Structure 1
Amino acid sequence: MNPTIRSLVVPVTDLAATKAVYSALFGEPHTDESYYVGYNVNGFEIGLNPAGNGGGPVAYADVDDLDAARDALLAAGATERDAPNKVAPGVRVCVLADADGNPIGLRGK
């Protein structure tokens, strides 16, 4: 496994207000939907998620095999916070937590 962190997703309660702040910093988003607003910052994705579960931003590690990476982390003692779900064609994400409750995001197939 050779994961790369390429995105950070921020849970938000007021998408319009938060989008105004991030747009002032990063410019217009490349994706501007009611369920997700995304910014490309020099090849790094910053996303705003109004359906997030709170707990702060989640950095997502891109992995080749989401299920294998998830299983390895669960076997090592991580707990599941958000089960895998499809977010785009060929892309699934899930969020686990380490022993202190810190989120670990995985993004892959």
Structure 2
Amino acid sequence: MTTLGIRTVLHPVSDLAAAKTVYTALLGIEPQTDSPYYIGFESEGQHIGLVPAGSPQSPAAPVSYWHVGDIEAKVAELTAAGATVQQPAREVGSGRLVATLTDGDGNVLGLIQDR
């Protein structure tokens, strides 16, 4: 089963307001999502998300998310190949499912399925 490519990258940040200013300058656009717990930008077909470091949904380091058509099938395929589930598939809003796995070296592999 192929992926639809990396389209989402989440960055943990210690100061959401300061990071918003930096990423707004970097991308040259205002965020599409701007809340106390998440700031998201849509730029050139990619979603760049800022998450407060230390929050339950925050990764420890930036995570690239591969978009897939069937998240459960891709999780099964990856675990059969030797990856380990870090966070099983769960809904995060608007029907979007996310999961994270790690490869044998501890690299985090993010998966997203949009419904």
Q: Of 80, 86, 98, which aligns to 2:103?
A: 98
> Could you tell me which amino acid in structure 2 is paired with residue 6 of structure 1?
R
Give 1:63 deviation, angstroms: 0.6
The residue aligned with 1:53 is 59
3-state SS, counterpart of residue 69 of structure 2: coil
Gaps of 5+ in 1: none
Give 1:90 deviation, angstroms: 1.7
CA distance in structure 2 between the aligned counterparts of 1:86 and 1:78, rounded to whole angstroms: 21
The residue aligned with 2:35 is 33
- Residue 53 and residue 6 in structure 1: after superposition, are their counterparts in 2 closer, same or farther (change >3 A)? closer
TM-score normalised by structure 1 residue count: 0.90
Q: Which runs of 4+ in 1 moved over 6 A?
A: none
CA distance in structure 2 between the aligned counterparts of 1:16 and 1:91, rounded to whole angstroms: 25
3-state SS, counterpart of residue 28 of structure 1: coil
TM-score normalised by structure 2 residue count: 0.85
Gaps of 5+ in 2: none
Give 1:13 deviation, angstroms: 2.4
The residue aligned with 2:19 is 18
CA distance in structure 2 between the aligned counterparts of 1:92 and 1:39, rounded to whole angstroms: 19
Q: Of 68, 84, 102, which aligns to 1:79?
A: 84
The residue aligned with 2:9 is 8
Question: Percent identity between the aligned chains?
Answer: 44
CA distance in structure 1 between the aligned counterparts of 2:79 and 2:51, rounded to whole angstroms: 25
Give 1:36 deviation, angstroms: 1.4
Q: How many residues align?
A: 108
3-state SS, counterpart of residue 99 of structure 1: coil
Give 1:83 deviation, angstroms: 2.4
CA distance in structure 1 between the aligned counterparts of 2:81 and 2:75, rounded to whole angstroms: 10
